[in-house]
Structure 1
Amino acid sequence: MKKNILLLLFTLLFVTSLYSQQAAIRIGYVDSQVILQQLPEAQKIQKELDNLLQKYQSEYDQMVKTYQSKIEEYQKKEAMLNPQAKEQMQREIAELEQKIFEYRNQKLGPQGEFEQEREKRLKPLRDKIIDAIQDVAQEEKLNFVFDKAGDVILLYADKQFDITFKVLDKLTRGAKSK
């Protein structure tokens, strides 16, 4: 009988311990799209970026239009042109094509001026948002905060749950023993 009571107490203590550990982990989430849509500072930056993109796109479209008209002109006159004039127009068309290619890469490409400007303007805002998320997470005693917009991204994690170096240790020890 004493063993049963002791076993019951031990089981109860164990279950209570597990329950309290599980209850201690608190998770929250944010929708960064809503934050960016509602935050006046973000709206202002987005409008400025839209204007810049429109400027670059307009310049690019004008270059393409000039290129297309040059090709049409060449096709209309090709039969009447002497070899030197043909060669000259072909060179001009090739130069325009190269300029269009360079412009697109320099201004609109993944490493272009627009992306650099976008990153420069948005980074301080992103940092400000992350700081606010961390502050709220600590005030609310949350262990993890995720972003539900698009791909789920972890925005905040309590350092006590970081197992990076344990995994790294296990991998490096595991690699040595194999």
Structure 2
Amino acid sequence: MSLRSKLSVLAIAASLVVPTLAAAQTKMGYVDYQRVMLEVDDGKAAKARLQKWLDARQKEIDAEQEALRKEKETLDKQASAMSEETRVQKATDLQKKVYDLAQKWEKSRGEAAERERKEMEPIIARIDDVIRTIAEREGLGMVFEKRDSGLVYALSQYDLTNEVIRSYNNGKGKAKDAPVAKDAPKK
């Protein structure tokens, strides 16, 4: 083998080994983001506001559903006394109301998802800032999300979740006022 071939092989081997060694020396951590979202004070408050809104919408839809059920019972009882044309018209009207209610329920689900996104967006941004602050302070090269990163196992000493929750709730690295979506209902 010529000197040039030996140097090429050595260069290729070095290019494979050096990043591996660097990665082996990089400090890492992980965070259970779902748990953080559920346990930080702002996350709890946002979930409570969202649940209150959802409960009100559900109560409204349940009331309309009950009214339609009663209307159907009335139609069923009176159907034999009605003309064919009247019965068909009332059944068609009832079907339209059921369809409209189903559309309202579907729209409500979309609104709920949008409200949740708006409520959580500022909280997520602040959580990310807290994680970044902790990572920089601890000299961590990488911080993984526990559930979505493909992380199968890690020692608990690398879990930053409790520290993120504590730092977030204590206000380290956060604005004075808790983040709230711009269109969030007032308390």
Q: How does 1:54-65 map to 2 (within 5 A)?
A: 54-65=55-66
Residue 45 of structure 2 is matched in structure 1 by 44
Q: Return closer, same or farther for 1:95/1:147 CA change in 2, 3 Å cut-off.
A: same
Task: Indicate whether 1:124 and 2:122 are aligned.
Answer: yes
Which amino acid in 2 is paired with 1:41? D
Alignment check: 8 A CA contact 1:45 1:121 kept: yes
Name the structure where helix makes up a greater proportion of residues. 1
Which piece of structure 1 moves more, 72-81 or 31-40?
A: 31-40
Residue 22 of structure 2 is matched in structure 1 by 21
Q: How does 1:129-168 map to 2 (within 5 A)?
A: 129-149=127-147, 151-152=148-149
Q: Give the aligned length.
A: 137
Which portions of structure 1, spanning 4 or more consecutive aligned residues, are displaced by more than 3 angstroms? 17-20, 151-154
Shift in Å at residue 97 of structure 1? 1.1
**How far apart are the structure 1 equivalents of 2:129 and 2:139?**
15
Instruction: State the Cα RMSD in Å.
Output: 2.6
**How far apart are the structure 2 equivalents of 1:116 and 1:27?**
34
**How far apart are the structure 2 equivalents of 1:27 and 1:104?**
45
Unaligned regions of 5+ residues in structure 2, if any?
A: 1-13, 152-187
Residues 14-49 of structure 1: CA deviation (Å, up to 9, x unaligned): 8xx788534422210112233223311111111000
Q: Return closer, same or farther for 1:40/1:18 CA change in 2, 3 Å cut-off.
A: closer
**How far apart are the structure 2 equivalents of 1:37 and 1:104?**
26
The normalised TM-score by structure 2 is 0.64
The normalised TM-score by structure 1 is 0.67
Which amino acid in 1 is paired with 2:44? Q
Structure with bigger gyration radius: 1
**How far apart are the structure 2 equivalents of 1:48 and 1:22?**
43
Matched position secondary structure for 1:69: helix
Residues 135-154 of structure 1: CA deviation (Å, up to 9, x unaligned): 211221212211224x3379
Matched position secondary structure for 1:152: coil
**How far apart are the structure 1 equivalents of 2:64 and 2:115?**
22
By relative contact order (CA 8 Å, sep 6+), the higher-ranking structure is 2
- Identical aligned pairs, as a percentage? 21
Residue 4 of structure 2 is matched in structure 1 by none
